Amino acid sequence: MKKMVLVWTSVLFVMLGAGVLSAADPNDKPGSSDPALFSRMSGFHIYNYELLDFDRYEFAVGPGKTEAVEGRHTYVDYYANDGIKIPSALQITRNYANAAKAIGGETVYEFEDGGSQFLTLKVVKENVEAWAAVEAAGNGMYKIHVIEKELMRQDVQANAESLAGSIRASGRAAVYGIYFDTGRSEIKPASEQAIGEIAKLLKSDPGLKLYVVGHTDNVGAFDYNVKLSQSRAAAVVGALTGKHGIAPARLTPFGAGPTAPVAANTSEEGRAKNRRVELVAQ
């Protein structure tokens, strides 16, 4: 596969599950290290290691289905040290699944084949999407592939004038630059610029009333995404009324979930465009 230069932001998380540590081992292969996403099971050392600045890996996402992800690729083979109690394959994959969940990640797919356990994880933080594939056989060896993929940066941010123009022209305006962690509805501090521009729009036109509509991609259950989009829309309304003094009667939150995409959900770039807030004139 071709090597290419990729500008990327490091994601560093410490594993939280029982039986895991973050320290290196004196038996590690020289020059090796744990992948940026996770540490390792206690009592294991790195037997084989490879780091590629840019690569592609096919992650299992369903029965007979894979998704190709490109980015910085770390591959690690772990072997158990002599004298330790060998954990089961399921214990290893459960540790990784619990660690990912603790930092807002998700289990994409897991299955068993021939006594081995296979696990695909995804974590999105700020501008980096990290995927991990764990394979464990319960025989004192397991391996992990991690791809760190930098997401498209949203360079054009909302401003009150462009929002007003879009609403005049089409009755609606999409707002990018409002950020949430995966599966959560708490607005991240980096969203304040976009929230402030919506407030500026409303203050410049005292008669304007808006539906604040939350949208998601199609990853996950439909009912869950509708509920999540409603909670996010309500959080935006809460920020506008609570921090910026906008009258609550001027804003109505609504969750549309994945029902109104603006791009195909077949790529992360498309899904990122679909995760948005829209302002619709009442």
Q: What SS3 state is found at 95?
A: helix
For the chain, give every residue range classified as CATH 3.30.1330.60.
Answer: 160-281
β-sheet with 128-136: strand ranges across: 44-62, 65-80, 141-150, 128-136, 116-125, 106-113
Low-confidence winner among 113-122, 158-167, 206-215 (lowest mean pLDDT) = 158-167
Which pLDDT score is estimated for 157? 59
Instruction: Say if residues 212 and 251 touch (Cβ distance below 8 Å).
Output: yes
Q: Which CATH number fits domain 20-150: 3.30.310, 3.30.1360, 1.10.10, 3.30.1050?
A: 3.30.310
Question: Which fold, 160-281?
Answer: 60s Ribosomal Protein L30; Chain: A; (3.30.1330)
Which pLDDT score is estimated for 183? 78
Residues in the chain: 282
Average per-residue pLDDT in the chain?
86
Better-predicted residue by pLDDT, 17 or 52: 52
Better-predicted residue by pLDDT, 18 or 121: 121
Task: Give the pLDDT confidence of 225-269 residue by residue, as tens digits.
Answer: 999 999 999 999 999 999 999 999 999 999 999 999 998 988 777
For the chain, the distance separating the N- and C-terminal CA atoms, rounded to the nearest angstrom, is 52
What confidence tier does 30 reach under pLDDT thresholds 50, 70, 90? very high
Q: What are the residue ranges of helices labelled H in 82-187?
A: 89-102, 160-170
Mean pLDDT across the stretch 46-73? 92
Is 23's pLDDT higher than 50? Answer: yes
Mean pLDDT across the stretch 32-46? 89
Distance CA 231, CA 256 (A): 11
SS3 content of the chain, % helix, strand, coil (to 5): 25, 35, 40
Instruction: Say if residues 96 and 17 touch (Cβ distance below 8 Å).
Output: yes
Task: Give the pLDDT confidence of 73-108 residue by residue, as tens digits.
Answer: 999 999 999 999 999 999 999 999 999 888 888 999
β-bridge mates for residue 172, sequence order: 280
What confidence tier does 154 reach under pLDDT thresholds 50, 70, 90? very low
Is 159's pLDDT higher than 60? Answer: yes
For the chain, give every residue range classified as CATH 3.30.310.
Answer: 20-150
Bridge pairing between strands 128-136 and 141-150:
antiparallel
Which pLDDT score is estimated for 127? 64
Which pLDDT score is estimated for 151? 54
